[in-house]
Amino acid sequence: MSLDKFFDTVNQDQDNYVAKLKEIVAIPSISCVAERRADTVRMGEWIIAELERLGATTKRVEPGTQQLDGQTVDLPPVVLATYGTDPSKKTVLIYGHYDVQPALKEDGWNTDPFTLVEDKEHRLIGRGSTDDKGPVLGWLCAIEAHQKIGLDIPVNLKFCFEGMEESGSEGLDAIIAAEAEGYFKGVDCVCISDNYWLGKTKPCLTYGLRGINYFGISVKGPAQDLHSGVFGGTVHEPMTDLITLMASLVDSQGRIRVPGIMDQVADLTDAEKKTYEGLDFSHADLHAALGGAKTELHADPQDTLMHRWRYPALSLHGIEGAFYAPGGKTVIPSHPIGKFSIRTVPDMDPHTVDKLVKEYLEAEFKKLNSKNTLTIICGHHGKPWVSSPDHWNFVAGAKAVERVFNCQPDLTREGGSIPVTLTFQDALKKNVLLLPMGACDDGAHSINEKVDRRNFVEGIKLYGAYFHELAAVKTE
Amino acid sequence: MSLDKFFDTVNQDQDNYVAKLKEIVAIPSISCVAERRADTVRMGEWIIAELERLGATTKRVEPGTQQLDGQTVDLPPVVLATYGTDPSKKTVLIYGHYDVQPALKEDGWNTDPFTLVEDKEHRLIGRGSTDDKGPVLGWLCAIEAHQKIGLDIPVNLKFCFEGMEESGSEGLDAIIAAEAEGYFKGVDCVCISDNYWLGKTKPCLTYGLRGINYFGISVKGPAQDLHSGVFGGTVHEPMTDLITLMASLVDSQGRIRVPGIMDQVADLTDAEKKTYEGLDFSHADLHAALGGAKTELHADPQDTLMHRWRYPALSLHGIEGAFYAPGGKTVIPSHPIGKFSIRTVPDMDPHTVDKLVKEYLEAEFKKLNSKNTLTIICGHHGKPWVSSPDHWNFVAGAKAVERVFNCQPDLTREGGSIPVTLTFQDALKKNVLLLPMGACDDGAHSINEKVDRRNFVEGIKLYGAYFHELAAVKTE
């Protein structure tokens, strides 16, 4: 069946889609701070309204409350929706998230992060444009285009959109477990669009993800910050202890110094090594993504991909409670909290990682003979995930890519973590496909986050084509 | 001569003085950020108006411009003033500063930092209350009280109030040098009230200060912040290099690890050691100032004072450009700048300290084999200072303390730096006395900065008594 009419409609209506993206980027749905919780809930309600406008039936699930910034706040709703219930059709469950990372103009954005702008290169710039509001909206636009030309969607759709992905998907796992035999009953496969192409031009299907363990190192000394002139040299400074501990975690070649971490990493087989040979990736792509910096750790591009996809990494993110502004404040911070995370891979176990990190840091702290008080905060977890790219769900995805982009997709893994992938796989026992919309240089979590207009528009076509290929693909 | 009438007047009018302090605390004259420069200038203008209302003649000196937060801004004015020109009287030059450190409610203040509040213990809480708006205002209140009762001030007063003390006193040195034989001609001694009592009950005169060298360690990698999932393990992370370098500066026992720094410290003589024996100081005072934390580095209180006054210290203040908020952002900062400073003592030379630090950090960075770019930023300097407590200026100060507080003052040094002290001594070749108003627990540069009402009110009396003792003291 030709999809030309559908594709034409998406082309014609693309400005409407971009206007809608602008409308939702303007809602600062930052899930990690209490003061933006109302905006995050508002974003969830926008999606419910849009789904209902399109004729879906929706169910708003309240995951409960959390402690955040010293207060008890409601978690944002998980939006469930059903579009089509024909028992003769396959049913695909689509997941996305409507919350975003923090963003401040002062961080270095060229434009206001919450005002979507399009530049000369047709980049649509704004927080959430690619992570993950663009993809979430894309699915809805694909439905709208079908309705406009009276084209039947040949699969049943179920949706699950959450507002806590950037903050550990709090509350979601319990809902998925509870609905596995309820709202999600009858789902045949799952599709998630929340990652990125390997390069800037060629689409991919993704079958593996790293997990994450997030940590805080809290070192508490005096009851309040001190003047370094008055107290410097006379007290155990919490920052000195903290910085020493942070420095003990990883070296400048990226090697994790916590004993036992690397022992858990699955061996690289020859067969696996071979899969890296055909991939469309060079260090020129990496350098471009780094804005021209040639600061790669590994000489061989395949090593770079392996260290992104199948080896763990430890990143130091920053310090809460220390001086962070421009200028020269002479303060001894009383209670700094260092933040870092470990990207995890098969066969690492999150609880073992927590235990190893905690034991190591406590032992290192003991060596310091400090009178300050150490607390290791084990934050959110996401397990690593690897799937089979031979499953019919991936075959349908590959055919959809061929129809829209006229090429075979790369088969990739990802360095980032989308913990819900594994949650769906474990709870529903169904195959999960990651089908990204954005390109490698979109800058998710960074300043000047963008999605290219091409990726957004062709992504909507890809989602529609995927519906049709799913309906057609053989499941044996 | 009895000063009872003066003291009574100060007691009676104290609420007016506190109301004035509240008025000027409300002006957020933060000198280290461009966006508060207009407020800083406004604060200088408030002082000019107040001096003129009291009958002083004033001179507003513009120190020029500076580069701040990416723009060229005017430096706040240096306010010079003369009150009395009787050639038969001694002339004392009084210095203070009207700028303050940054302060945000979110830093942990119990109340708005720029709204002075008085709590049940009669603490006057607000940014600048003790550092240094309380003392600056105190001098003006002492004049006002004299005028009210028609009491002659038996010395000529000259004032020098600046608005850049918290930012390296930029522009001031040139003005002092230029006015040494001009506006400051005829000055017999100098008095500065910008430090603190050793304890909470007993006043002191201060004859020594540590200096400061402030540094930034800039490590630059990619052009923008990166997502740690996508890039973790594949690039040299600037934070890893930065944290490693920061950890190489000082150990958890407060020992400075930069070679050559300790070699410059003047030896402790037996005579000097003896002066530490009679001081009113115990670790209970320190613990109180730490809000109950017992995190002292040294077992002996005398060692604590020596490490505050006559040994150098290195404090790590924080990191600009990294993640600093609550929550769990998974960012690889692209260009973090670590901030630290060294408190310096005789016979350390600021330029030698800069050189040693720069060479050491560059050598340490080389060992890391990193592809990132290091820049060491040598910030503002203040040389250490030691004076003679036998000078008549100190004798007058001690007698004034006796009249107001009925006790002999402690003779102390200070751990903090007031670079202008040495500038005045070098430029005018006159003795400089530090005569503090605030107590050891005032929390300058910290959250909930305060001055006790008792210190503020008795401080005003002390300043007035000092005028009279100065007039009476023999200068041979």
Instruction: Examine the domain organization and report whether A398 and A454 are in the same domain.
Output: yes
Cα gap B220→B321, rounded to integer Å: 10
Chain B residue whose CA is closest to A248: B244
For chain A, residues with pLDDT lower than 50 are none
Phi, psi of A83 (to 5 degrees): -130, 100
Residue numbers in A near B258 (CB within 8 A)? none
Predicted pLDDT at A380:
82
A:B CB pairs within 8 Å: 367
Cα separation of the two ends of chain B: 22
As a 3-state breakdown, chain B gives helix, strand, coil percent values, each rounded to 5, of 35, 25, 40
* A297–B32 CB contact, under 8 Å: no
Residue numbers in A near B325 (CB within 8 A)? 32-33, 102, 320
* B415–A308 CB contact, under 8 Å: no
Question: Is residue A288 a part of any domain in this protein?
Answer: no
Q: What is the mean pLDDT of residues B457-475?
A: 97
Evaluate whether A161 touches A82 at the Cβ level (below 8 Å): no
Q: A53: annotated binding-site residue?
A: no
Instruction: Examine the domain organization and report whether B80 and B158 are in the same domain.
Output: yes
Which residues 34-63 of B are in CB contact (within 8 Å) with A?
none
Chain B interface includes A434 (CB < 8 A): no
Among the three residues A350, A382, A414, which one is the final residue of a domain in this structure? A382
Catalytic residue among A99, A132, A285, A364: A99
Question: Is residue B178 a part of any domain in this protein?
Answer: yes
The boundaries of the domain holding residue B50 are 4-209+385-472
* B339–A332 CB contact, under 8 Å: no
Instruction: Examine the domain organization and report whether A46 and A181 are in the same domain.
Output: yes
How does residue B199 score in pLDDT terms, banded at 50, 70 and 90?
confident
Q: B441: annotated binding-site residue?
A: no
How does residue B198 score in pLDDT terms, banded at 50, 70 and 90?
confident
Contacts of B353 (CB under 8 A, 6+ apart): B213, B261, B264, B342, B344
Instruction: Examine the domain organization and report whether B326 and B458 are in the same domain.
Output: no
Is B173 tagged catalytic? no
Q: Which residue has the tokens 């528009």?
A: A457
Residue numbers in A near B232 (CB within 8 A)? 308, 313-315, 343, 415
Cα gap A324→B323, rounded to integer Å: 9
User: Residue B388: pLDDT above 90?
Assistant: no
User: Count of residues for chain A?
Assistant: 476
Question: Is residue A294 a part of any domain in this protein?
Answer: no
Question: Is residue B285 a part of any domain in this protein?
Answer: no
* A329–B32 CB contact, under 8 Å: yes
The amino acid present at A85, given as its one-letter code, is: T
* A228–B167 CB contact, under 8 Å: no
Chain A interface includes B294 (CB < 8 A): yes
CA–CA distance from B48 to each of A157, B39, B52, B56, B187 (Å)? 73, 14, 6, 9, 21
Residue numbers in B near A224 (CB within 8 A)? 108, 291, 443, 446-448
Question: Is residue B284 a part of any domain in this protein?
Answer: no
Q: B391: annotated binding-site residue?
A: no
Cα gap B136→A207, rounded to integer Å: 68
Question: Is residue A298 a part of any domain in this protein?
Answer: no
DSSP string, B344-372: E-TT--HHHHHHHHHHHHHHHHHHTT-SS
Predicted pLDDT at A36:
97
pLDDT digits (tens, 9 = 90+) for B4-36: 999 999 999 999 999 999 999 999 999 999 999
- Spatial CA neighbour of A357 closest among A344, A373, A370, A346: A344
Instruction: Examine the domain organization and report whether A189 and A40 are in the same domain.
Output: yes
Predicted pLDDT at B370:
98
Among the three residues B382, B402, B432, which one is the final residue of a domain in this structure? B382
Q: A194: annotated binding-site residue?
A: yes
Evaluate whether A131 touches A194 at the Cβ level (below 8 Å): yes
Is A165 tagged catalytic? yes
* A230–B167 CB contact, under 8 Å: no
- CATH assignment of the domain containing B135: 3.40.630.10
Catalytic residue among B50, B99, B414, B449: B99
Least CB–CB distance from A222: residue in B237, B293, B379: B293
Q: B194: annotated binding-site residue?
A: yes
Q: What is the mean pLDDT of residues B46-71?
A: 96
Cα gap B109→B446, rounded to integer Å: 9
CA neighbours closer than 13 Å in the CB half-sphere of residue A220: 11
pLDDT digits (tens, 9 = 90+) for B252-265: 999 999 999 999 99
Residue numbers in A near B289 (CB within 8 A)? 222, 226, 230-231
Instruction: Examine the domain organization and report whether B102 and B205 are in the same domain.
Output: yes
- Spatial CA neighbour of A27 closest among A111, A107, A116: A116
* A369–B286 CB contact, under 8 Å: no
Chain A residue whose CA is closest to B35: A326
Preceding peptide of A132 cis, ω within 30° = yes
Give the ranges where B368-391 is alpha helix by DSSP (H).
none
Cα gap A178→A80, rounded to integer Å: 13
Q: Which residue has the tokens 């709590």?
A: B119
Predicted pLDDT at B276:
87
Instruction: Examine the domain organization and report whether B47 and B192 are in the same domain.
Output: yes
Portion of chain B with pLDDT greater than 90, in percent: 87
- CATH assignment of the domain containing B234: 3.30.70.360
Cα gap A400→A392, rounded to integer Å: 12
Residue numbers in A near B223 (CB within 8 A)? 290-293
Instruction: Examine the domain organization and report whether A193 and A249 are in the same domain.
Output: no
* A294–B440 CB contact, under 8 Å: no
The per-residue pLDDT of chain B, averaged, comes to 95
ipTM over 0.85: no
* B329–A315 CB contact, under 8 Å: no
Q: How far is A384 from chain B (nearest CA, A)?
A: 12
Q: B251: annotated binding-site residue?
A: no
Instruction: Examine the domain organization and report whether A252 and A374 are in the same domain.
Output: yes
**Number of compact structural domains in chain A:** 2
* A233–B339 CB contact, under 8 Å: no
Question: Is residue A127 a part of any domain in this protein?
Answer: yes
Residue numbers in A near B417 (CB within 8 A)? 229
Residue numbers in B near A327 (CB within 8 A)? 32-33, 102, 167
**Strand residues in B252-372 grouped as ranges (E):** 313-320, 331-332, 337-344
* B415–A230 CB contact, under 8 Å: yes
Instruction: Examine the domain organization and report whether A216 and A359 are in the same domain.
Output: yes
Evaluate whether A7 touches A403 at the Cβ level (below 8 Å): no
The amino acid present at A401, given as its one-letter code, is: V
Q: B255: annotated binding-site residue?
A: no
Which helix (H) or strand (E) segment is A158 a member of? strand A156-162
Which residues 338-377 of B are in CB contact (within 8 Å) with A?
339, 341, 343, 368-372
Cα gap B40→B32, rounded to integer Å: 10
pLDDT digits (tens, 9 = 90+) for B110-125: 999 999 999 999 999 9
Cα gap A431→A385, rounded to integer Å: 12
Cα gap A460→A468, rounded to integer Å: 13
Chain B residue whose CA is closest to A242: B247
Instruction: Examine the domain organization and report whether B43 and B173 are in the same domain.
Output: yes
Predicted pLDDT at B307:
97
Phi, psi of B334 (to 5 degrees): -85, -25
How does residue B419 score in pLDDT terms, banded at 50, 70 and 90?
confident
Hey, how many other C-beta atoms are within 10 angstroms of the C-beta on B149? 10
Q: A330: annotated binding-site residue?
A: yes
Predicted pLDDT at A331:
95
Q: B13: annotated binding-site residue?
A: no
Residue numbers in A near B368 (CB within 8 A)? 251-252
Instruction: Examine the domain organization and report whether A108 and A159 are in the same domain.
Output: yes
Question: Exposed (0-12), middle (13-18) or buried (19+): which is A155, by Cβ within 10 Å?
Answer: buried
Q: Which residue out of B68, B110, B234 would a mutagenesis test of the A interface target, given it has the greatest number of A Cβ atoms within 10 Å?
A: B234
* A221–B443 CB contact, under 8 Å: no
Question: Is residue A89 a part of any domain in this protein?
Answer: yes
User: Residue B476: pLDDT above 80?
Assistant: no
Chain A residue whose CA is closest to B226: A446
Question: Exposed (0-12), middle (13-18) or buried (19+): which is B67, by Cβ within 10 Å?
Answer: exposed
Cα separation of the two ends of chain A: 22
Residue numbers in B near A285 (CB within 8 A)? none
Catalytic residue among A39, A132, A162, A165: A165
Hey, how many other C-beta atoms are within 10 angstroms of the C-beta on B272? 12
Q: What is the mean pLDDT of residues B230-258?
A: 97
Predicted pLDDT at B418:
81
Predicted pLDDT at A16:
98
Among the three residues A382, A412, A437, which one is the final residue of a domain in this structure? A382
Least CB–CB distance from A322: residue in B298, B317, B379: B317
**Which residues partner with B156 through β-bridges?**
B91
Which residues 120-179 of A are in CB contact (within 8 Å) with B?
167-168
Contacts of B67 (CB under 8 A, 6+ apart): none
